[in-house]
Amino acid sequence: MDITKQTYEREEVVEKYYDRYLTAPEYFEIDIPKLVKTFPGKKLLDVGCGPGQFSRIFGENGFDVVGIDYSKAMVKKAKSLSSDENNPSYRVMDMKEVKKYFKENTFDVIWASASLLHLEKTEIPIVLKSFKYILRPRGHMYLVIKLGEQGTVLLKDGDLGEGVVRKFTFLNEKWFENLLDGMNFSIIEKRLKKGSVIGGRPSNWGHYWVKSQ
């Protein structure tokens, strides 16, 4: 099993992640009310939902939310925090397989906060293409990625404590924007936020709010 997935299957890591990033929306300074008003429909997929911070917020704001995560432990935690068992609905699923489970044009919005960063660089174009397939025309995506010197680093003892190993892929800003452009996604809003130094490499958070043509 992939080392990052193994890490996210550990219940103590899930608890640590939950305690630390329960406040992810504030941490990322995301203007949720503005997004809620502007998104072009209510059917939202939260990719790599983790403990479901964003799934719950959108569910409470009238969205019909499906949260997916490849970690059973994360999905279990997300479900335990939900007061409505149907919305958000959570499923254990690898984002690389969304096309197997969802039909074309299923979602109005795809939300992926800090989850694409665990893919290999070569997997990102394939996954974005499958997102485009399940997103309806003129649907929106909100992607939070790590920008920096392009490549994958193994983080051993980071924000989740000693012995917690995860892989992170940093992307080059221009490379990523060309990729979006080539797939006919136009940028509605882009924000950069200073991130931490991982494996000796400085990183920035890139927030890309984009629209499919």
Among 86, 85, 113, smallest CA distance to 23 is for: 113
CB of 82 to ligand SAM, least distance (A): 15
Among 17, 5, 12, smallest CA distance to 158 is for: 17
> Is 71 or 203 the residue whose CB approaches ligand SAM more closely?
71
Q: What is the DSSP letter of 33?
A: H
Interacting residues toward ligand SAM by CB under 6 A: 8, 21, 24, 48-50, 53, 68-71, 74, 94-96, 113-115, 118
CB of 89 to ligand SAM, least distance (A): 15
Taking phi over 0 as left and psi of -120 to 50 as alpha, with beta for the rest, 39 belongs to beta
Among 187, 169, 168, smallest CA distance to 178 is for: 187
> Is 22 or 186 the residue whose CB approaches ligand SAM more closely?
22
Distance CA 24, CA 26 (A): 5
> Is 41 or 195 the residue whose CB approaches ligand SAM more closely?
195
Question: CB–CB of 45/134 below 8 Å?
Answer: yes
CA dihedral for 109, 114, 115, 117, sign (positive or negative)? positive
CB of 113 to ligand SAM, least distance (A): 3
> Is 7 or 212 the residue whose CB approaches ligand SAM more closely?
7
Question: CB–CB of 171/145 below 8 Å?
Answer: yes
Is omega for the bond preceding 88 within 30 degrees of 0, making it cis?
yes
CB of 178 to ligand SAM, least distance (A): 23
CB of 207 to ligand SAM, least distance (A): 11
> Is 160 or 180 the residue whose CB approaches ligand SAM more closely?
160
> Is 82 or 115 the residue whose CB approaches ligand SAM more closely?
115
CB of 98 to ligand SAM, least distance (A): 9
Tell me the three state secondary structure of residue 196.
strand
